[in-house]
Amino acid sequence: MPPSRPIPRPPSALIAAALPDVAPGRRVTVAGLVLVRQRPGTARGVVFVTLEDETGTINVVIWRKVFDRFRRAVIAGRMLRVTGRVERQSGVTHLVAEEIEDISALLDLLADPETPLSPPDQTG
């Protein structure tokens, strides 16, 4: 029997479908594929990122100071984990980023049929 390799755990994160139920101002972590990156000239250095997980999309607002700290992840990441504060304006929920992590390396696990997508003690 070949030696078993450690199975990396997916990042602990709130799903997109649950974000509307979170109280404004609460700090949460989300994770998803990067669908869109926008840096409008009129936004004075603010970057807008749209992430997608299996339940929906997440709008992320990244202020200039946070962008400068996590520039490489924001620009190059195909899948991100973002921690920040929930904000609601005109019925739209956003996550104002405080920390950003590039977790693109986990994408390779999706193509490996030997890697379970859920920890052994969970289903889904």
Q: Note the pLDDT tens digit of each residue in 40-94.
A: 877 788 999 999 999 999 999 999 999 999 999 999 999 999 999 999 999 899 9
pTM of the model: 0.81
* For residue 6, pLDDT beyond 80: no
pLDDT at 123: 41
Angle at 116 between CA 79 and CA 36, to 5 degrees: 15
d(CA 48, CA 96): 10
